[in-house]
Amino acid sequence: MPGGYILCEYESVKKEFPEFKAVMDRLRSDLIGKASGEWGIPADRFTLEAGYLTTVMPQLFVDNTGVRLTTWDQWFTATGHRLIMAGVGNGYSIPEDYKVGLAGLAFLDKAIRVSEVKMQISDKKLPRINIEEAFVYNKPAIVFEEGFILDEETAFELYAYVLTQGPQRIKLIGLQANRVKDKLLTTDTGAALT
């Protein structure tokens, strides 16, 4: 994986991985530059206050059963090697008008039900990450030393080796660029937040 990754507790990412701010700053700059250039929106409008930039929203993804996420909560229904999260669009793609800057993953439960994860972004397969050593952490996180941009209409798949069935909260750490201010997917693709 380009640049590697670090395993740490989600709540202490900044303390355990001081380079995280630099990773996020670089990812934010790259994401805004790409979105601004492709969508023709001035870069200075990509702020949290303006609504063109947000945290990563779960509505852009489906869970392990193929149902659109509304929160990061899901229920693992089977064990073994499984697709546990993917883009909500056709072919597991990120929907049009959205771009995601991915800096890592956080497991928000004390009980972790997976032993390893691997990702595929478009045709790029990233190596497996064994997270068994992170089982001792309260809320383990995988933080990449270099972020990834999940472009609109580009496939994203997150696989895991699932050890047990049951509830699991997995959050994507990063930023999301929105082509339409405050637009949020609901059950109707393209529905606007009112």
Q: How far apart are CA 63 and CA 120, in angstroms?
A: 15
Q: Among 152, 72, 84, which residue's Cα sits nearest to residue 118?
A: 84
CB 131 within 8 A of CB 112: yes
Mean pLDDT of the chain: 89
For 66, other C-beta atoms within 10 Å of its C-beta total 10
- As a whole number of angstroms, the distance between CA 59 and CA 68 comes to 6
pLDDT digits (tens, 9 = 90+) for 62-99: 999 999 999 999 999 999 999 999 999 999 999 999 99
Give the number of residues written for the chain.
194
Q: What's the average model confidence in pLDDT over 2-6? A: 74
- Token readout for 44 is 């200075």
| Residue 111 pLDDT | 86
pTM for this entry: 0.89
> In percent, how much of the chain has pLDDT > 70?
91
pLDDT for 15 equals 75
